[in-house]
Amino acid sequence: MPLHFIFGASGAGKSHYIYRKIIQESMEHPGRQYLVLVPEQFTMQTQKELVMMHPRKGILNIDVLSFERLAYRVLEETGESCAQVLEETGKSLVLRKVSQEKKKELKILGEKMKKQGYISQMKSMVSELKQYEVTKEDMDIMLDYAKDKPELYYKLKDISVLYQGFFDYLEGNFITQEEVLEVLGRVAGRSKKLSGSVMVLDGYTGFTPIQLQLLEKVLPLCETMYVTVTMDDRVDAYRQGSPHHLFHLSRETVSKLCKLSRAVGSQVEETWVTGKGRFSHNKPMEFLERNLFRFRKDTYRKEQRAVHIRESQNPAQEMEETALIIRRLMRKEGYRCRDFAVITGDMETYADHAARAFGKFDIPCFIDQKKSVFMNPFVEFLRSAVDMLLENYSYESVFRLLRCGLLDMPGQDMDRLENYVLGMGIRGFRKWQEEWVLHYRGEKPEEVPEIEKIREGLMELLLPFTEQMKTRKGTVRERVLAFYEFITACGIQEKLDRSQKRFVEENAMDRAKEYAQIYPMVMDLFDKMTEVLGEEKVSLREFKELLEAGLSEVKIGIIPPSSDQVLVGDMERTRLKDIKVLFFVGVNDGKIPREDAAGKILSDLNREDLRASLVALAPTYRENLYTQRFYLYLNMTKPSDKLFLSYSRADDEGEPMTQSFLIGAVQKLFPGLVPEYPCRDAVWKVENPQSALEYLASGFKEILDREPSPLWKELFSWYQQQEEWKQTMQNMVEGAFRVNPEDEIGKSVAQALYGTTLENSATRLELFAQCACAHFMAYGLELRERARYEFSPMDMGNVLHSGLESFAKKMHQSGLSWTALDEEQMDEMADACVEEVVSYYGNTVLKSSARNEYMVSRVKRMMKRTIWALTKQMEQGAFTPSRFEVSFAMADSLESINIALSKEEKMKLLGRIDRVDTCEEEDKVLVKVIDYKSGNTSFDLLALYHGLQLQLVLYMNAAMELEQRNHPDKQVVPAGIFYYNIKDPVVEKIEEEEPEALNRRILKELRMNGLASSDRGVLEKLDENLSANGTASLCVPVTINKDGSLSRNSSAVSPEQFRLISNYVNLKMKEIGRRILNGEAETLPYEMGKRNACQYCPYKGACGFDEKTAGYRYRRLNALMPEEIWDKMRDGEKSERLVDKEV
């Protein structure tokens, strides 16, 4: 029963030697059992290698196993009953349950155990304590040692509680994976499989205490136990060196094995494999193996092409360069995909980049990484279903469930349902149970019954599940059963099967395998939850935590679909075999060596503090640095031909990164080795049809400026001839030479959309003047932003408008004058009007939240201030309100709103004038039009000229025609058109200021803006204070100079100018109406100074406007002085043509 070490450096041929030896012995002793133990992830590769090496291509008496597989084989052979093994998922479930039960005992970890990742960390802690055989007595020793360190003491106390509680819960029912080897150790002596066998331990860099205990019991049973150990032949294998020595881990392993050999009375033998092995024809790689991380090292000064260092801008470029080099080596030097491997210390960053890069260059690759299931639609379905119940059917949770795509609801129905829920503010399970009969603003009432049917169908599915799950304390078994019935009712398994078949048809094999595995894995999780915690009563939130803990441990493992693939893996986990070219990517500081994982239960500082307690625990980060260096040595000496080390200058977010110490260490060995940089020329990437597209695209950008290269022409011609690439080429050409089409939908389409009688509001005409495309989207396609159950600034304006309308009606019905009310009566009536509007506005949205109820009080305050200001303005003049909220529909025979565009076409204008004031004289009627605005709208003559502000003049034309009908024997004269901006201004406080003076300052802030008649008599009717020279009006935008003239800042025009803009606006509206019916829909937004049509346009994400694309530009409008505008209006009137000069 000798213990036989096979020593040799990395690449010397240790595995090859021992495999040859046992193959030979197995043929000579067919009755003897040969057991080859390798790490779990290495078993299949080792089996394949032994079969290929065996002369008979079969290994009948050679068994390749891992420690765990050996345990199950022996337990099966001996008939030993073993409690059920609790896997990683089960551990998480039990720890979650124990942490809930022991919550009051946990001083530090109590609340933290609910956070994402803490259960996984605690599970690792439990595994570590078990692997290192930490007993209750050992925990007491550590606690006693830490009593003077409160933070460490209470943390250890919590760990002890959870550790003890975990195993108390398992006692008699389950054992952990770590305990399986303990069971094997107890029955090993009864095993015929082990008795007299030859055992080989290959591929291990060390052994855990439990594994060593097992080997101590197995060694006496074996004929011989061979152990391969990586060791330099210049090193004394039996001498315990310092931890920073490269082969310290190997020496430590030898020391522990020798100790157990002495304990069982076994002799120790050794064989040194000193050949050059895989480096027999590669001097640079042989030199690297002999000198890397050694204290005494030489330098390689000859020219060599085996070791390379590459620098890239970022990880994406780094992986693309790697794929490109692989493709080139395959083409030029005849390598196969299986000859390459890519390893990294940061799989999270590089795995996705690798998949994209290798896909681009059409290189088959296998990414050796278990995939989390949290992004799978089925898992999202489970999580969102629980969240929906916990959040009481909140909008977000319900549609998170619906958008998983696993419910039988068409996308259009889902969109309509979502629009209704947003528009009506549907929240809570009770609202989802009620019948939906109301409609929101902008929705057609006839659509509500259809949406109600969608709701009914959904609730038929969700209601049974909700009823079963909503109990405060149900058992885990009951909740799992409810979930299973819900999953069955939704037909999830069939849908996943269909998706899996579709992925197979699309040759997306990774996705296909994921969808094939996910349903059985979830069912297995449900089985474990029922088996481990079945009768435990848990709340819904506790159940969610258990489910999340279980799902976090479910990982999708993909078996390589082919042997001829590039392997991409982690530098510690992935096992490399027979690799010719190795790419080591991400060789940056912080990744190589890998930074200490944050958030461990016991920090390195804690472990250092506990070292003196003499209780063995896992090594600290500092100790692991030397171990990482050993793994670097093993990996860098795996390739037989070439080694590429690469690093990035910045991460994916653009943050700078530095190269790892490893780069400098290799450069010291090879002084002539300098970093290689990516070729900037896109032609370098022309390796396959997919990657050549990038070169082709770069040529499209330059083709307008210069003649393309012969290579570019040849490539373009080739793609054009390939049927599978024709559509791609068409898309690229259209994208490269895309210009803004001169969009016209045509007259016939326009008439089909709008009819021959165009019903337009001033707002619609102004929108067309801003951008014809925006008008088409709004009124042709009728695209609208989603209605939301909220109180927006626009809603506030609507409420204030409605409140003012209600106030005016009440005043009219009561026969009272605005100026007749005292302030108390005015405020009381204002409050009543606001309450009246609030009671029916937006389906009670104003009562839906405390914020919105506050907005009601704000609206009331603004309403009172507005009525006060409007009343004060009335008191200053001779005008009285004659009409409020004058709808054009009530006076549709007016010429000013019925405009003939052609013999067949006409335009009918729609609108509502907020207020018309009149002042009657003996032979004439003065008319003043006021439009209430909740923003900061100001009158702009230039905007009017360009068609961007037509409303006030249109309203004046309609109001004057109405008044002319009512007063046929009098002359109707425009007195002014004004905007009143509804607001409650804040003015600076002045000490000891009289109330009268304060009110004047407030009125000044609330002064109307617009155009007033410049006639002095009319101005005095607008504000009696203007009868005196040197006066500024508090009502209208007019100031009288001391000499009786109007100030330069006054906004006043002559009656002739009023007539001029009236005619101009009529002509402008005709022009816009004709253009609409002619089908204009061009994407040509206006720009005037710092303003443009795109600033607040809701369609700017859909129209495709981009100044960088040929043909797209702003329609830049001239900035004209007022006199220039009047002159152009006169010229236009004379010629009956409108001039809208653009540059």
DSSP string, 818-842: GGGS-HHHHHHHHHHHHHHHHHHGG
CATH of the domain at 416: 1.10.486.10
Interval 240-270: pLDDT, tens = 778 888 899 999 999 999 999 999 999 999 9
Instruction: Give the phi and the psi of residue 475 in degrees, each rounded to 5.
Output: -75, 160
The alpha carbon dihedral of 407, 408, 410, 414 has a sign of negative
Is the pLDDT reported for residue 473 higher than 90?
A: no
Q: Write down the pLDDT at residue 704.
A: 63
Interval 120-169: pLDDT, tens = 888 888 888 888 888 889 899 999 888 888 888 999 999 999 999 999 88
**Domain co-membership, 193 together with 216:** yes
In a domain, 505, yes or no: yes
Which phi-psi region, left, alpha or beta, contains residue 862 (left: φ > 0; alpha: ψ -120 to 50)?
Answer: alpha
Residue ranges making up the domain that contains 359? 285-370+561-669
**Domain co-membership, 88 together with 75:** no
| pTM score | 0.74
Is the pLDDT reported for residue 1140 higher than 50?
A: no
Cα separation, 410 vs 453, whole angstroms:
13
Task: Name the β-bridge partners of 928.
Answer: 917, 976
**Domain co-membership, 528 together with 440:** yes
In a domain, 41, yes or no: yes
Cα separation, 1083 vs 774, whole angstroms:
8
pLDDT band at 624 (very low <50, low <70, confident <90, very high): confident
Average pLDDT, the chain: 87
Cα separation, 106 vs 930, whole angstroms:
71
Whole-Å CA distances, 135 to 132, 150, 160: 9, 22, 10
Is the pLDDT reported for residue 485 higher than 90?
A: yes
CATH of the domain at 53: 3.40.50.300
Q: Which contiguous run of DSSP H or E holds residue 478?
A: helix 476-489
User: What is the bridge-based pairing of β-strands 924-933 and 912-920?
Assistant: antiparallel
In a domain, 531, yes or no: yes
Cβ atoms 86, 176 nearer than 8 A: yes
Nearest CA to 1011 out of 962, 1062, 970, 971 is that of 1062
Q: Supply the DSSP symbol for 293.
A: T
User: What is the bridge-based pairing of β-strands 566-570 and 537-538?
Assistant: unpaired
**Domain co-membership, 612 together with 488:** no
Query: Lowest-confidence range among 377-391, 511-525, 745-759?
Result: 745-759
Instruction: Give the phi and the psi of residue 167 in degrees, each rounded to 5.
Output: -75, -25
**What is the pLDDT averaged over residues 480-509?**
92
Nearest CA to 641 out of 361, 368, 365, 341 is that of 341
SS3 per-residue string spanning 687-748: CCHHHHHHHHHHHHHHCCCCCCCHHHHHHHHHHHHCHHHHHHHHHHHHHHCCCCCCCECCHH
**Domain co-membership, 703 together with 762:** no
**Domain co-membership, 496 together with 544:** yes
In this structure, the number of other CB atoms found within 10 A of the CB of residue 1042 comes to 9
b/e sequence 951-986, b meaning 16+ C-beta within 10 Å = bbbbbbbbbbbbbeeeeeeeebbbbbbbbbbbbeee
- Provide the token pair at 631: 């793994």
Which is higher by pLDDT, 979 or 625? 979
Interval 268-305: pLDDT, tens = 999 999 877 888 899 999 999 999 998 877 899 999 99
Is the pLDDT reported for residue 1038 higher than 70?
A: yes
Q: Write down the pLDDT at residue 790.
A: 67
In a domain, 828, yes or no: no
**Domain co-membership, 336 together with 383:** no
Q: Supply the DSSP symbol for 779.
A: I
In a domain, 79, yes or no: yes
Q: Over pLDDT 90: what percentage of the chain?
A: 40
Q: Could you give the angle at which helices 283-291 and 661-669 cross, rounded to 10 degrees?
A: 120
Query: Lowest-confidence range among 468-472, 512-516, 680-684, 997-1001?
Result: 680-684
In a domain, 89, yes or no: yes
Cβ atoms 440, 424 nearer than 8 A: yes
Q: Name every residue whose Cβ is closer than 8 Å to that of residue 931 and which is 6 or more positions away in sequence.
A: 913, 914, 915, 951, 952, 955, 977, 978, 979, 980
Task: Single out the residue in 618, 642, 669 at which a domain terminates.
Answer: 669
Whole-Å CA distances, 518 to 54, 376, 380, 493, 496: 39, 8, 12, 10, 9
Nearest CA to 210 out of 134, 156, 142 is that of 134
In 184-294, DSSP assigns E strands to 198-201, 224-230, 268-273
Is the pLDDT reported for residue 1008 higher than 60?
A: yes
Cα separation, 470 vs 473, whole angstroms:
9
- Provide the token pair at 65: 């196993």
The alpha carbon dihedral of 189, 190, 195, 199 has a sign of negative
Number of structural domains found in the chain: 6
In a domain, 759, yes or no: yes
Q: Write down the pLDDT at residue 353.
A: 94
Cα separation, 1097 vs 783, whole angstroms:
12
The alpha carbon dihedral of 255, 256, 260, 266 has a sign of negative
Peptide bond into 593 cis (omega under 30): yes
Number of residues written out for the chain:
1143
Q: Write down the pLDDT at residue 1138.
A: 45
Q: Supply the DSSP symbol for 393.
A: S
Nearest-5° Cα angle at 336, 644 to 635: 35
Task: Single out the residue in 513, 540, 556 at which a domain terminates.
Answer: 556
In which order are the strands placed within the sheet that holds 912-920? 880-887, 912-920, 924-933, 971-981, 1009-1013, 1052-1053
**Domain co-membership, 459 together with 548:** yes
- Name the H helices within 111-246: 118-131, 136-145, 150-170, 177-187, 209-218
**Domain co-membership, 256 together with 184:** yes
Interval 563-600: pLDDT, tens = 789 999 988 878 888 899 999 999 999 888 877 655 57
Under DSSP, is residue 351 helix (H, G, I), strand (E, B) or coil? helix
Under DSSP, is residue 83 helix (H, G, I), strand (E, B) or coil? coil
Cα separation, 11 vs 5, whole angstroms:
16
Q: Write down the pLDDT at residue 1139.
A: 42
**What is the pLDDT averaged over residues 1110-1134?**
84
- Provide the token pair at 272: 């040194």
**Domain co-membership, 517 together with 544:** yes
Is the pLDDT reported for residue 1143 higher than 60?
A: no
Task: Single out the residue in 250, 275, 300 at which a domain terminates.
Answer: 275
> How many Cα atoms are found within 13 Å in the side-chain-facing hemisphere of 848?
16
Cα separation, 474 vs 483, whole angstroms:
13
Instruction: Give the phi and the psi of residue 822 in degrees, each rounded to 5.
Output: -85, 170
**Domain co-membership, 390 together with 534:** yes
Q: Write down the pLDDT at residue 179.
A: 85
Of 216-230, 545-559, 913-927, 1107-1121, the range with the highest mean pLDDT is: 216-230
In this structure, the number of other CB atoms found within 10 A of the CB of residue 419 comes to 19
**What is the pLDDT averaged over residues 200-221?**
93
In a domain, 810, yes or no: no
Q: Write down the pLDDT at residue 681.
A: 65
**Domain co-membership, 417 together with 551:** yes
Is the pLDDT reported for residue 199 higher than 90?
A: yes
